[in-house]
Amino acid sequence: TLVVGFRVAEANNAVFLLDALASMVQMIGLQVDEAKPFIQRLKSMELENGKAMTISLDTDLIPMEELDEDQREIAAKVIELLEGRSVSFAMGVKDGVLLTVFSENKSAIGQVMARENNLLSHPKLAVLRNADTSRLRSVNYVSKEFKESQWNANFSGYFQRMSGQVQMAMKSSDENGQLQSLAEEIETDARWLDEKLASAGGTFGETLTWSVATDKGSEGYSYDWSSNKLLQNAVPLSLLDHAGDSPLLMFALKQNENEIAKQMVEYVLGRIPEYVRQGIELSEQDESKKAEALDLFGRAWPLVVDAYEILRDKVAPSMSGNESLFVFSGLWSTDTLGPNAPPPSGPLPLPEFAIASSMDNRDMFINGCSELYGVFDRVVELVREVNPNAVPADYEIPRPVKASIEGGSSYTYEQLAASVPLEGFNPQVAVTDQVLVIGYSQRQVDSMLRAKKLRAMPAWITPSTPVAAFGYADMAGIVQTIRPWIEFGLSVTNPDLDQPLAPGPGPIPTGNDVLRIWDCFTSMGKAASTVTVSDSGPTVGRWVWVSE
Instruction: Give the predicted TM-score (pTM) of the model.
Output: 0.82
pLDDT higher for 499 or 178? 499
> How open is the CA angle 170-173-178, to the nearest 5 degrees?
70
Can you give the pLDDT at residue 9? Answer: 86
pLDDT digits (tens, 9 = 90+) for 231-275: 999 998 999 999 999 999 999 999 999 999 999 999 999 999 999
Can you give the pLDDT at residue 477? Answer: 97
Can you give the pLDDT at residue 343? Answer: 86
Number of domains in the chain: 1
* Most trustworthy range by pLDDT among 52-61, 86-95, 103-112, 422-431: 422-431
Q: Could you tell me the pLDDT band of residue 165, with boundaries at 50, 70 and 90?
A: confident
User: What mean pLDDT is predicted for residues 308-336?
Assistant: 95
Characterize the bridge pairing of strands 408-412 and 401-405: antiparallel
Find, among 480, 491, 485, 473, the residue nearest to 527 by Cα.
Answer: 473
Tell me: pLDDT of 119 over 80.
no
Spatial contact of 67 and 112, defined as CB atoms under 8 Å apart: no
Can you give the pLDDT at residue 379? Answer: 95
Average pLDDT, the chain: 91
Q: Flag whether 396 is in a domain.
A: no
The radius of gyration of the chain's CA atoms, rounded to the nearest angstrom, is 31
Q: Flag whether 184 is in a domain.
A: no
Distance CA(87)–CA(16), nearest Å, equals 26
Q: Could you tell me the pLDDT band of residue 444, with boundaries at 50, 70 and 90?
A: very high
Query: With pLDDT > 90 as the criterion, what percentage of the chain qualifies?
Result: 57
Spatial contact of 97 and 87, defined as CB atoms under 8 Å apart: no
Can you give the pLDDT at residue 424? Answer: 95
pLDDT digits (tens, 9 = 90+) for 5-46: 888 888 889 889 888 988 888 888 888 888 888 888 888 888
Q: Flag whether 52 is in a domain.
A: yes
Find, among 27, 225, 11, 264, the residue nearest to 127 by Cα.
Answer: 225
Q: Flag whether 57 is in a domain.
A: yes
Distance CA(75)–CA(69), nearest Å, equals 10
pLDDT digits (tens, 9 = 90+) for 462-506: 888 999 999 999 999 999 999 999 999 999 988 899 998 888 777
> Hey, what long-range contacts does 513-518 have (CB within 8 A, 24 or more apart)?
514/486, 514/490, 515/483, 515/486, 515/487, 515/490, 518/479, 518/482, 518/483, 518/486
Among 61-70, 155-164, 322-331, 526-535, the minimum mean pLDDT is found in 61-70
Q: Flag whether 537 is in a domain.
A: no
Q: Flag whether 54 is in a domain.
A: yes
User: What mean pLDDT is predicted for residues 168-194?
Assistant: 83
Tell me: pLDDT of 411 over 90.
yes
The amino acid occupying position 232 is Q
Q: Could you tell me the pLDDT band of residue 361, with boundaries at 50, 70 and 90?
A: very high
User: What mean pLDDT is predicted for residues 132-144?
Assistant: 89
User: What mean pLDDT is predicted for residues 382-411?
Assistant: 92
Tell me: pLDDT of 321 over 70.
yes
Q: Flag whether 103 is in a domain.
A: yes
Q: Could you tell me the pLDDT band of residue 320, with boundaries at 50, 70 and 90?
A: confident
Spatial contact of 315 and 325, defined as CB atoms under 8 Å apart: no
Tell me: pLDDT of 72 over 90.
no
Domain of 1, in residue numbers? 1-114
SS3 114: coil
Work out the number of other CB atoms within 10 angstroms of the CB of residue 94: 21
Can you give the pLDDT at residue 174? Answer: 67
Distance CA(164)–CA(292), nearest Å, equals 32
Can you give the pLDDT at residue 175? Answer: 67
Can you give the pLDDT at residue 342? Answer: 86
Q: Flag whether 87 is in a domain.
A: yes
Q: Facing residues of 208 across strands?
A: 141, 223
3-class DSSP string for 510-539: EHHHHHHHHHHHHHHCEEEEEEECCCCCCE
3-class DSSP string for 379-443: HHHHHHHHCCCCCCCCCCCCCCEEEEECCEEEEECHHHHHCCCCCCEEEEEEEECCEEEEEEEHH
Can you give the pLDDT at residue 291? Answer: 93
Distance CA(497)–CA(514), nearest Å, equals 9
Spatial contact of 86 and 58, defined as CB atoms under 8 Å apart: yes
